[in-house]
Structure 1
Amino acid sequence: MGSRSFLPMSIVRAARRAVPGVLAAVVVAALAHAAVWLVNEQQVHAPDVSGKLESLSFAPYNAAENPEKGDIISPQRLREDMEVVAPYTKSIRTYAATGGLEKIPEIANQYGIKVMQGIWISNDEKRNEIEIKNGLDLARRYPNVTSLVVGNESVLRGEKTAKELGEILRKVRAESPVPVTTGEIWSTWLEHPELAANVDFIAAHILSYWEGVPREQAVQTAVDVYDRMRAAFPGKHIVVAEFGWPSGGYNMKGAEPGPVAQAEILRDFVNRARDHGMDYNIVEAFDQVWKTNEGSVGAYWGLFNADRKLKFDLAGAIREPNKERIVGAALLVGTLLSLIAFALRRPTFWHALMVAGAAQAVGAWLAVTIAHPLSHYLVVGSAVMWVAGLILLVPLALLSLARIEEIAAIALGRGPTRLLPERIEPEAFGPVPEGSLEALGLTERPKVSIHIPAYREPPEMLKQTLDSVAALNYPNFECVVIINNTPDPAFVKPIEEHCKRLGSHFKFVNVEKLEGFKAGALRVALQHTAPDAEVIGLLDADYVVSPDWLSDLAPLFSDPRVGLVQAPQDHRDGHRSIFHAIMNAEYAGFFDIGMVERNEINAIVVHGTMCLIRRLALEEAGGWSSDTITEDTDLGLSILEQGWTAHYTRRRYGHGMLPDDYRSFKTQRHRWAYGGFQIAKKHWRRFAPGGTRLTLGQRAQFMMGWINWMGAEALGVAAAILNLLWVPVVAFGGIALPDSVLTLPVVVVFLINIIHFALLYRLRVKLPFRHCMGAGVAAMSLQFTIARAVALGLFKDSLPFLRTDKGSGKKRTAGAFPAKWEAILGSLLLLGAVLLAATNKDEVREIYVFAIVLVVQSLPFMATVVMAFIERRAIAALAAADSDTETVAEPIAVPASALTPAGAVSATPSA
């Protein structure tokens, strides 16, 4: 059968008219994006550095070398690095006289560079002896060695006491031909003034970053500390042996690292030091990637990066490095993503602008995230976090873009055009091609065979469904009731007798040991369907239908292109308690928001009740399949793949029963998610070009639907668990903290979801705000359930079909707590957030952001706990009102004319 999908010419013309508006929106979004970058560009002016620096710390290790692993630096490598620094400094400071570094004075002498020779002092006494011997030997051999620096922060690290270091200093001074000192932070000198008696000059480290000093005060603080040192040690020469500022890493209280801050501070300090007559050494020449022991900033103190490129200009305006490339990439990616606005259905300018703006924001985030390695050294921990962040967050960002598009379409768009009106007239859909009805064997009011499968359903509930069917004001129908795998006669006999009472429209089928779940029952129902039935109607056993269900919707099949017509699910017991109201509100969003939008491109999701299917379409699609546990959605997609057209109405033509309890609510959603995953695995190959009659829009809608529902929830749980595992590393290890670029998006995605839920529920579902929020809690509470179903789908090809208990008449008891694992995970995430905040002594901003992310990620898990407690409160209230049984519904009056004296047909299928 040829393709039956169609797009009205009015929509095509509207799309063509919309192109100029969309183009304007895309251009405006791109210009706004560029303006944001321009306004936020950091361009700082600082004093130029004239002439060479006084001194640079010289640790000649590249990104692949690590002195802690015993790496030896060759003379050739030393010479290469010396050539790099020679044009910029008069002197260098070293920190050790072993590991190949003992060659530095000789090579520095060839470049006319003076050396403050370091002697490394630690708890390794054997190495200390070699260091001292080598240092003294170098001081005697090379005239460019101007002093010996014995030990570097040895007292601060606790490797030597001030007394022990003093003894070493006295020994070295007795043999040294040059002045001797030790390097310690300025506060150590003030705490141990006795050290000054054992040195020829004081080598003080003044590093404002480690004291949490804001960048604006960093230089003045250093000058003040220098003056304080001079006052504390009059007559003693003071050298600022280390001053610097990191170009990367995290903040230390008020101290913010960064490339612009580093350039501004160092250039300002060099000029202030010159004016103040201060001898200084800048730490350091090259970034030291191996310095993970110094936290996030350890690798970023160099004047040159690890590739030996100068990080900033020593004169002129200071600009952020790589900014042009990042901005260019952000605008390019953002503009490419914003082109999706041209694929929007009849967009308004504001609809397209919101989508294009969101696309530009995603482009900016992607560019910054992907460019992260340009300005950061990724060691193992940070590389793992960066890769994991990309894997988890890029899909979430794209899903958020899809949700923003839905917000824009509903809040700012033109509204739906394919949605069926409240009252259906066949002529509303245009003339029917001559002869088409006859070719399909159709009449204007085709015969409908309503199939009601039942498995252990409460008889009183099912009787109400049958009574409502008997009250239909459509004359040309039959009803096949099939009870399967229900050996208890208490569930069977009352229904058989009721079908006989209702008359010849009703057929009763009872089959035991049936395989194939609900699909198997529906296949049996087809065997007992009247040969002249042209349309199959599906009802769940708990659904009470409106009398005009068929009279309104069945005439739509006079259009030979129509393969199925779907009405929403709804429920008649949402008023019983706040718990039931919340569940009912959560269901409503899908049918009033998602289904309406999907209907616009003929891509609705079929659900196995309140659905009418052309018998021919069902047969072409292969009939009911048992290879998924969501046979209805599977069949609906197969029908669309055959090129049939589907219609959807928002009018509620039927009302069923809500799940009995929260556990049943979760069980039902688990089945839907697992079945959805099965369908995705079954059908994805057909989504390739030429493999299906689905349009590109239909394929995109189904793919995004699967990813948006199952993928987002699974990714959310995976991200939460990974972050939870990372908490002790951050709290106690102090390393590999996720950067804000990898954590803030989680908060943004959460806020988008909240806006999406609250706004669209108000606009489409039109519920009170408290019900919207309750629906949001209910939806969030299912995240772990859906993620678990997806995880099982990865490893198991099939699961048993679990019936959702509805109207079962069970005694209302609380039972086992249905949110145990969610409570555990949610509590651990909250405890992790508290732990991070409590151990964040340095007030690192990224740690606070990480803690906030953990709180946000805990909310879906805690929502499950909230739902469980709301259910228990509802159980208590309902038990007080009715301690015996569940109330399934108000009795339904069935007109006497709907009943006939003839008995119902009872049949048993052949083997």
Structure 2
Amino acid sequence: MRAVLVAALVAAVVHAAGWFVFAKNELPADVTGEISYLSYSPYAPGSDPKDREPVPVEQLKRDLGVIANVSRGVRTYSVIDGVDEVPALAAKMGLNVIVGAWIGDTEERDRHEMETVVALAKKNRNVRSVLVGNEVLLRGERTVDEMMAMIREVKKQVRVPVSTGEIWYQWLQYPELAKAVDYIAVHILPYWEGVAAEDAVSYTIAKIEELRKAFPGKRIVVAEFGWPSQGYNNLAAVPSATSQAKILRDFLVEAQRRGIEYNIVEAFDQVWKTNEGSVGAYWGMFDAHRNAKFSLTGPVADKNTLWKAIVAIVLGTGLTLLGLRTRQPNYGHAMMFALAGHGMAAGVALALAYPFENYLNIGIALTWAVGFVMVLLITVMTLGKVHELAEVLFGAKPRRLIGDTPALPLPASPPKVSIHVPAYREQPAMVIETLNSLAALDYPNFEAIIIVNNTPEAFYSAPVAARCRELGDRFKFLNITCSGFKAGALNVALQHTAADAEVIAVIDADYVVQPGWLKDLVPHFADPTVGLIQAPQDHRDGADSPLKRVMNAEYAGFFDIGMVQRNEDDAIIQHGTMCIVRRDALERLGGWSTETIVEDTELGLRLYEAGYQALYTNVRYGHGLLPDTFSAFKTQRFRWAYGAMQIIRKHWQHVTPTSRTLTPRQKFHFIAGWSLWLADALGALASMMNLLWVPMVLFVGVIIPTVAFTVPIMTAFAVNVLHCGLLYAKRVRMPLKEVPGAALAAMSLQLTVARAVFAGLVRDRLPFLRTDKGGNAKRGRENPAKWETVFGALLLASALVLELTNEDRITEMSLFAVTLAIQSLPFLAASAMMLIERFQKSQVCGAVQPAAVFGLESAADSMEPSR
């Protein structure tokens, strides 16, 4: 426990230091005196100019009262929706007004706006100037000649200066416009031009000087200057609350020093401004609820950093203590897990902060909720991988592993073992090879029961029956028809088991066992608490083809890494071959369950729930055959994943905190194991959701998934890569060059597992899916990776399109593109597996086979064995 506490403390300190180092604290110039003008659009949260609802006078009074505390004047942009009340109300608060007429919608509205601003300028002495239109030329809604005509018309009717608001380069592009106005009302917004925050003020001053040279003697007023506090970057321009505060304060001080006339955009955040991308709502010096974002004097810091840091550190410490509470890690193990826990906690805190730092509508809120749940699940699953990685790399050597412990002698009267070999439509030569290996066992007291189930064809059964007769009385042959698939056949075998048999061993019909299998393992049943002894699966055809090499490498990782670690906590998974079970325990539990298609794994869990322990060896006592095809490989994994969902539905109550049937460590491993199936389903679901989101980003302009939602996916991928590479190098007895193949095979199954998981969540009964081995697979025309290829291509193409269209180099878009590219890998891995299979067929069949590479088959390929 000491190592856990020390690691938790050190990681928390490192975590806190990270927040401190990366916290954005600024010390801009102090602003003395009042701001000249602030842009004012009175639409509060929940309202929108498009609604054409009059703004209540009381709201106008409250808003102008807030503005009057920091500014001498306001700039308006229109005179409809009650905004024409602003000059009179502002006068009572000592505020000057630059009144604006909105130009560009319709000629009728243009006329109304112009007539109203003229009337307001005549009626209110605090109206200091009139702006006819706002960026009309930039939007291309009126020609320069039309604008000059309207400006001249208003000038004739008022005694205050008249101009129009335009971007600085529009004034340079239309010098004739400068002659028509009383002063140049220029908009200089460095963010929209991709200028870095540290250069924003100097850039603005440079543009003012450029205009002064172009129009000597002309009065120049900066009618809009500002910086957003939130949103995506635009090239080098990165929005943030602290950058906004520093830029505005530095500009205000510089403008006062240089005598620059200005207006700051804007007073309040405008939630309705969705037409200006991610930053449109965040230009205010006050938020939408009329709270000041920063002070005009003193240091500036992000208000949310402190609480985010506290949440992240507390959560990271909690994850560390919770994840290691039942362990006894050394310092290396504890420190690695603690640092990972704090790192993931920081991501969770950033994701949690999103709704507190952004204005949400229903769609964005729903998207955030789904994304946040996924971040939590990814965090738990990633930490499970980190835990296993740390335990293997830094933890103690395995202590419970049979083979690493002293061998037990065979008792003088060894218990009788009944070996059960279920077979369904298996190639007879393969089954006979299995029988021959059983006959060669170096064990004095056993019987073998071969159960050919639901296989009426003599082609499959007759040679096997004949070989059993040749091998003598110890070999019993059963040719049966029963329900319950493999579990049903094994239950029938129990009925024919010798009365004096104390131990039941099960192997698949394709397994060739080593002579010492029973001699080495059965003695461990001398401990009456041992209910199960499991040996790993391995394969004798793993080097037969490129496809089988990668499949074999993938299997090996589970048996040499995951099972070894689970065994340390007495939490192994029983699988249906090379397993040995105490007979009275099996019968006490009612035999093999026919309610699930993974009767072996389900039995192992029931044995634990009944209080038995299990033992594991990673010694290869048997070698079977790999699936014949990639399609068969997928079928097998579908069965396992679907069966896991069945087990969850039937046994979830045993892993609840209040249950006493399993130990805390057993609960941890079974939950972690189930979560890996769910992780593939979650990964596929996240990929589909992101794929659907791409056109929304490209064509609708909705939000891009934030860093807090994309970085966890990339982190999980990086952890998976490290987990695979480092643990294979540490534990799996195979050349390192085989590791990429293992990773390829594992990734290729994501969509298959996802389909099984979702099927298991809604359906409780699916038929047993047989895995074709030993040449049983039929060659089909269908591409087994068709849908994976489609989804992988769409994800990769979407990533490329996003990156190529990211002209503003938005960081979030680039990260989203990288995320999509990463998410395409499991789907494309399935395509690669299919291509490997097709390539090896072409190598075997020579000139005939190129057709098969493209999904065709020859007449010879379609022939089945004679029956």
| Partner SS, residue 550 of structure 1 | helix
In the TM superposition, what whole-angstrom CA distance separates every residue of 1:300-321 from its partner, at most 9, and x where no partner exists?
A: 1110111211111211112122
Contact 1:642 1:692 in 2 (8 A): no
2:220 is aligned, of 235, 238, 241, to 238
The aligned amino acid for 1:526 is: L
Confirm or deny that 1:65 pairs with 2:47.
yes
Q: Which residue of 2 aligns with 1:669?
A: 637
8 Å contact kept, 1:57–1:284: yes
Could you report, residue by residue, the CA deviation over 1:131-153 in whole angstroms, capped at 9, with x for unpaired residues? 22221121111111111111111
The answer to whether the aligner puts 1:740 opposite 2:707 as a matched pair is yes
CA distance in 2 between partners of 1:880 and 1:120 (Å): 76
2:449 aligned residue: 480
Equivalent position amino acid for 2:625 in 1:
M
> Aligned with 2:594: secondary structure?
coil
For the residue of structure 1 that corresponds to 2:139, the secondary structure is coil
- In 1, the alpha carbon distance for the partners of 2:802 and 2:123 equals 53
Q: 1:195 aligns with which of 159, 173, 177?
A: 177
In structure 2, the CA distance between the partners of 1:190 and 1:380, relative to structure 1 (3 Å rule), is farther
Q: Residue 490 of structure 1: which of 434, 437, 459 is its match?
A: 459
Q: Distance in 2 between matches of 1:305 and 1:52?
A: 19
Counterpart residue number, 2:857: none
Deviation per CA, 1:640-696, whole angstroms, max 9, x where unpaired?
Answer: 111111000110110000001111011111111111111111111233355551112
After superposition, what is the alpha-carbon deviation per residue over 1:331-366, rounded to whole angstroms, capped at 9, x for unaligned?
Answer: 111111111354253311011011111111121111
For 1:801-840, list aligned pairs within 5 A: 801-808=768-775, 815-840=781-806
1:539–1:611 Cα contact (<8 Å) kept: yes
Q: Report the TM-score when normalising by structure 1.
A: 0.91
- CA apart distance, 1:256: 0.9
Q: Paired residue for 1:46?
A: 28
Q: Distance in 2 between matches of 1:882 and 1:645?
A: 55
Note the C-alpha offset of 1:181: 1.0
For 2:853, the equivalent position in structure 1 comes to none
In the other structure, the counterpart of 1:322 is 304
Deviation for aligned residue 1:21: 2.3
Question: In the alignment, is the contact (CA less than 8 A) between 1:186 and 1:204 conserved in 2?
Answer: yes
* Corresponding residue SS for 1:658: coil
How far has the Cα of 1:450 moved from its partner?
0.6
1:56-110 alpha-carbon deviations (Å, 9 max, x no partner) = 0011222222112223211100111111111100111011111011111111111
Correspondence for 2:425: 456
2:743 to 776, 785, 805: 776
Secondary structure at 2:449 match in 1 = strand
**1:843 corresponding residue in structure 2:** 809
CA-based RMSD of the aligned residues comes to 1.9
C-alpha distance in structure 2 between counterparts of 1:882 and 1:596, whole Å: 45
Deviation of 1:427 after TM superposition, in Å, equals 7.8
Q: How far 1:592 moved relative to its partner? A: 0.6
Mapped partners of 1:278, 1:687: distance in 2: 70
Cα distance, 1:199–1:625 mapped onto 2, change above 3 Å: same
**For the residues of structure 1 that align with 2:848 and 2:615, how far apart are their CA atoms?**
41
- Tell me the alpha carbon deviations over residues 808-859 of structure 1, each in whole angstroms, 9 at most, x when there is no partner: 2668x68432110000000001110111112112111111111111100000
Mark the CA change 1:809 to 1:289 in structure 2 (over 3 Å): closer, same or farther: closer
- Aligned-pair identity (%): 49
Q: Secondary structure at the match of 1:156?
A: helix
Q: Separation in 2 of the partners of 1:517 and 1:206?
A: 76
SS at match of 1:280: strand
Residue of structure 2 aligned with 1:717, choices 674, 684, 709: 684
Aligned positions of 1:361-760 closer than 5 A: 361-421=343-403, 425-426=407-408, 445-512=414-481, 514-689=482-657, 691-708=659-676, 710-760=677-727
Q: Provide the rounded CA distance (Å) in 2 between the counterparts of 1:331 and 1:687.
A: 28
> 1:284 deviation in Å?
0.3
Task: Find the aligned partners of 1:116 and 1:59 in 2 and give their Cα distance.
Answer: 13
**Structure 1 CA distance, aligned partners of 2:612 and 2:580?**
13
Report the equivalent of 1:266: 248
Distance in 2 between residues matched to 1:754 and 1:629, nearest whole Å: 31
Amino acid at match of 1:799: L
Among 755, 780, 786, the residue aligned to 1:788: 755
Give me the whole-angstrom Cα distance separating, in 2, the residues matched to 1:344 and 1:650.
25
Are residues 443 and 329 of structure 1, via their aligned partners in 2, closer, same or farther at CA, if it must alter by over 3 Å?
farther
CA distance in 2, matches of 1:231, 1:380: 50
**In 2, Cα distance between equivalents of 1:558 and 1:882:** 59
| Residues 535-568 of structure 1, C-alpha deviations (whole Å, 9 max, x = no match) | 1100000000011111111111110100110000
Residue 618 of structure 1, CA deviation: 1.0
Aligned to 2:830: 864
Is the 8 Å Cα contact of residues 155 and 184 (structure 1) preserved in structure 2? yes
Contact 1:381 1:736 in 2 (8 A): no
Residues 292 and 380 of structure 1, relative CA distance in 2, 3 Å threshold: farther
1:312 and 2:288 correspond: no
Q: Structure 1 residues 667 and 258 mapped into 2: Cα distance closer, same or farther (>3 Å)? A: same
Alignment of structure 1 residues 95-174 onto 2, 5 Å: 95-174=77-156
For residue 892 of structure 1, what is the aligned residue in structure 2? none
* 1:536–1:615 Cα contact (<8 Å) kept: yes
More displaced stretch, 190-199 vs 474-483: 190-199
Measured after TM superposition, the shift of residue 704 of structure 1 is 1.6
**Counterpart of 2:388 in structure 1: which amino acid?**
E
Q: SS in structure 1 opposite 2:14?
A: helix
1:25-79: CA deviation from partner (whole Å, max 9, x where unpaired): 1111111111111222222221111110111001122222211222321110011
Is it true that 1:302 corresponds to 2:271 in the alignment? no
Matched with 2:267 is 285
Q: Tell me the SS of whatever aligns to 1:450.
A: strand
| Deviation (angstroms), 1:444 | 6.1
Contact in 2 for aligned 1:424/1:553 (Cα 8 Å): no
1:409–1:415 contact (8 Å) kept in structure 2: no
- SS of 1:647's partner is strand
Matched, 1:34 2:1: no
Q: What amino acid sits opposite 2:722 in the alignment?
A: I
Answer whether contact 1:346 1:414 (CA < 8 A) is retained.
no
Cα distance 1:661–1:841, how it changes in 2: closer, same or farther (>3 A)? same
Kept after mapping to 2: 8 A contact 1:762/1:769: yes
Structure 1's unaligned 5+ residue stretches are 1-18, 429-441, 887-911
Distance 1:495 1:176 in 2: 109
Gaps of at least 5 residues in structure 2 are: 850-859, 863-867
Q: Give the TM-score normalised by structure 2.
A: 0.96
- Structure 1 residues 80 and 359: CA distance shift in structure 2, 3 A: same
| Comparing 243-252 and 365-374, the one that deviates more | 365-374
Q: Please state whether the residue corresponding to 2:221 is helix, strand or coil.
A: strand
In the superposition, relative to structure 1, how do residues 452 and 868 fare at CA in structure 2: closer, same or farther (>3 Å)?
A: same
User: Per-residue CA shift, 1:863-897, capped at 9, x if unaligned?
Assistant: 001111111222233446999999xxxxxxxxxxx
| C-alpha contact 1:287 1:299 (8 A) present in aligned 2 | yes
Evaluate the alpha carbon distance shift between residue 835 and residue 342 of structure 1 in structure 2; reply closer, same or farther with a 3 A threshold.
closer
Contact 1:123 1:160 in 2 (8 A): no
Contact 2:340-2:383 at 8 Å conserved across structures: yes
Query: 1:854 corresponds to which residue?
Result: 820
Q: Report the Cα offset of residue 118 of structure 1.
A: 1.1
Matches of 2:119 and 2:848, distance apart in 1:
97
Q: Which moved more, 1:682-691 or 1:359-368?
A: 682-691
1:598 deviates by 0.9
Q: Is the 8 A contact 2:351 2:709 kept in 1?
A: yes
Aligned residue pairs: how many? Answer: 852
Amino acid at match of 1:326: K
* Structure of greater relative contact order (alpha carbons < 8 Å, 6+ residues apart): 1
Distance 1:110 1:885 in 2: 93
Distance 2:718 2:762 in 1: 32
Q: Do 2:326 and 2:665's aligned partners in 1 also have CA atoms closer than 8 Å?
A: no
